[in-house]
């Protein structure tokens, strides 16, 4: 017999178990007896199996057969139930985790939409919610970093815009340059909106700087450089600045070209209008002035040609006169001395345009009837007569013996200086 509690073999008359010390009851004795009977039956069944299966029903008791059948059912039913339970648990867990993933993905997509719309605060809140649901999701963490970066850039850009409104161009330019550096290398769509805002503010800054500089520019070259810079700007404000620059170029060029035209520097004046028209294409004011300059140049050249021709004619006439009529007789006086000799005194004038010297005059003496009664020569080798000046020359014709005479200068020679 054995203890019902610990299984220690005991004696038939024992009241307490020598192993565990518990009381051995009569019921236990009965149960022990049943167990012994059951063991004997199993032993007999084993002996029967050695004989043949067909003898089992007659050898194994009915109660034992029923217990064995129930045990075999549970033996295969319990593992199946455990498998089904485990599978159900895994499936439920999978469904739960899939639901979280779907929620995180939805939050991430919505955060993307908010960020692309410029609502960075809303996007960050959605990404935080997604991160709380999936703390180890690297994609969410990366998106959160990008949104934080864009939000920081947006604050700098907004501050730059405020500085521009205050016309604090230096600080605005510094903030915009910082934002430009931060945007370098980022091609993600979330940065596109910020790049557009940055471009607009950079345009506005360029326009404001050009506007401030215009007042100090007074040369076409300087204005042309600023116009070239303005051509790279866009927008209504940039277009207005371009018009101001062009108007100033026209004004300065017009005044300079008009002054040169009045001074008859037509080529220089046309160069100025040509350069101005290359910058202010089809400007009516400049085109009209250019036409006036061209006409004035034509008129001047024609007048100059006429003047030159006239001057050449005058020069030719003067040269002819200098060569042929440089000595002009102002008056001639004559007296007959007691010896019958005629003393002639002539006053001559330099009618040339250049000084003359070494003058010689030949003359003829006529009587009252017009008959030649003598000739003579008067000369002055040392006299140097300026244009318009006069000199006196004397000569004697011997043996005239006539008081009523007329003296005519036939020929004169001289040298031009």
Tell me: do 334 and 371 sit in the same domain.
yes
pLDDT bin (cut points 50, 70, 90) of residue 343 is: very high
Domain limit, last residue, from 299, 317, 341: 299
Residue 144 lies in a domain: yes
Q: Average per-residue pLDDT in the chain?
A: 79
Residues 287 and 348 reside in one and the same domain: no
Top pLDDT among 211 and 17 is at: 211
What does the pLDDT look like over 170-216, one tens digit per residue? 888 898 888 888 888 888 888 888 888 888 888 888 888 877 777 77
The pLDDT, as a whole number, for residue 73 is: 67
Per the CB < 8 A criterion, the answer to whether 134 and 100 are in contact is: yes
Residue predicted with more confidence, 68 or 368 = 368
Phi-psi region for residue 272, left (φ > 0), alpha (ψ -120 to 50) or beta? alpha
Whether 137 is covered by a domain: the verdict is yes
pLDDT band at 123; cut points 50, 70, 90: confident
- Give the confidence band of 17 by pLDDT, cuts at 50, 70, 90: low
187: in domain: yes
Per-residue model confidence as pLDDT tens digits over 40-58: 443 443 332 232 323 333 3
- Both 333 and 283 in one domain: the answer is no
Q: Is residue 161 located within the same domain as residue 192?
A: yes
84 within domain boundaries:
no
When divided into structural domains, the chain yields a total of 4
Are 203 and 256 in the same domain? no
In a domain, 8, yes or no: no
Q: Decide if 80 is inside a domain.
A: no
Same-domain pairing of 283 and 330: no
171, 188, 212 — which closes off a domain? 212
Give this prediction's pTM. Answer: 0.47
Tens digit of each residue's pLDDT (9 = 90 or more) over 129-184: 887 877 877 888 888 888 888 888 888 888 988 988 888 888 888 988 888 888 88
Q: Dihedral angle at the C-alpha atoms of 243, 249, 254, 257, nearest 10 degrees?
A: -160
The β-bridge relationship of strands 356-366 and 406-416 is antiparallel
Give the integer Cα–Cα distance in Å for 45 and 217. Answer: 124
* Domain extent for 31: 26-60
User: DSSP states of 46-83 as a string?
Assistant: HHHHHH-GGGHHHHS-HHHHHHHHHHHHHHHHHHHHHH
Q: What percent of the chain has pLDDT over 70?
A: 80
């Amino acid at each position: 017999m054995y203890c019902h509690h610990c299984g220690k073999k005991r004696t038939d008359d024992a009241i307490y178990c020598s192993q565990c010390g518990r009381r051995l009851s009569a019921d236990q004795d009965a149960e022990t007896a049943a167990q012994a009977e059951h063991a004997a039956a199993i032993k007999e069944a084993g002996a029967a199996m050695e004989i043949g299966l067909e003898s089992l029903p007659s050898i194994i008791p009915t109660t034992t057969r029923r217990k064995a059948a129930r045990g075999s059912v549970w033996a295969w039913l319990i593992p199946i139930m455990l498998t089904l339970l485990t599978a159900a648990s895994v499936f439920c867990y999978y469904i739960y985790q899939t639901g979280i993933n779907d929620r995180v993905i939805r939050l991430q997509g919505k955060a993307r939409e908010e960020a692309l719309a410029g609502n960075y605060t809303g996007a960050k809140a959605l990404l935080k919610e997604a991160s709380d649901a999936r703390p180890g999701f690297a994609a969410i963490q990366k998106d959160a970093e990008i949104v934080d970066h864009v939000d920081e850039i947006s604050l700098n850009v907004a501050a730059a815009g405020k500085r521009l409104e205050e016309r604090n161009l230096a600080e605005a330019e510094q903030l915009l340059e910082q934002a430009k550096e931060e945007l370098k290398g980022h091609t993600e769509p979330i940065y596109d909106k910020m790049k557009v805002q940055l471009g607009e503010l950079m345009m506005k800054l360029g326009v404001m700087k050009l506007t401030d500089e215009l007042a100090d520019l007074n040369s076409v070259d300087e204005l042309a450089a600023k116009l070239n810079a303005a051509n790279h700007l866009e927008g209504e404000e940039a277009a207005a600045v371009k018009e101001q620059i062009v108007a100033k170029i026209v004004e300065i060029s017009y005044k300079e070209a008009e002054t040169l035209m009045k001074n008859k520097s037509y080529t220089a004046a046309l160069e100025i209008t040509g350069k101005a028209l290359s910058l202010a294409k089809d400007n009516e004011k400049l085109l009209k002035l250019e036409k006036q300059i061209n006409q004035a140049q034509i008129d001047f050249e024609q007048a100059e040609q006429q003047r030159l021709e006239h001057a050449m004619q005058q020069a030719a006439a003067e040269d002819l006169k200098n060569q042929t009529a440089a000595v002009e007789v102002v008056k001639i006086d004559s007296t007959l001395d007691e010896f019958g000799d005629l003393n002639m005194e002539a006053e001559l004038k330099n009618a040339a345009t250049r000084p003359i010297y070494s003058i010689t005059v030949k003359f003829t003496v006529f009587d009252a009837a017009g008959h030649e009664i003598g000739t003579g020569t008067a000369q002055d080798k040392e006299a140097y007569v300026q244009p318009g000046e006069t000199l006196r020359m004397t000569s004697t014709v011997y043996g005239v013996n006539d008081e009523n005479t007329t003296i005519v200068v036939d020929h004169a020679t001289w040298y031009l200086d």
